[in-house]
Amino acid sequence: MTNIESTTIINLPIEKVYTFLDDLNNHQQLMPENIYNWSSTKDEAQFTIQNMAKLTIKITERIENQKLIATPTEKPPFDVSLQWAVADLGNGTTKATLTISADLNMMMKMLASGPLQKLTDYQTQRLKEVLG
């Protein structure tokens, strides 16, 4: 498994950060421009990645004020999961980490690692901007 990770610090209590991330309707605000045709509920989101694929993800695991895991509802070209983990740093600040875990062969790893890292960095930066 290839793990691609990005972390940010947000000046809000962990409960507020977790509550925002717990609702996939909010995740549209974290997506870059190449994500479109977004539709979502609290537990599921469907979207298209420009020049790539249509994807539907569903939250498959929740541990309140700790982590959320979302996985595709249909079999993607490779196994992938998205995990948001939050940690209370005290003084009303929270560390939020997005990890994309993907089962990539060497060729796919060379092609996808850069774009996936950009995506995780973009999403953590947007989370800080939206909640900041």
Domain ranges of the chain: 2-21+61-131
Say which CATH topology domain 2-21+61-131 has.
Alpha-D-Glucose-1,6-Bisphosphate; Chain A, domain 4 (3.30.530)
Dihedral angle at the C-alpha atoms of 115, 121, 123, 124, nearest 10 degrees? 160
Tell me the pTM: 0.93
Whose CA is closest to 94, among 120, 65, 118?
65
Quick one: pLDDT at residue 79? 85
Q: Residues in the chain with pLDDT < 70? A: none
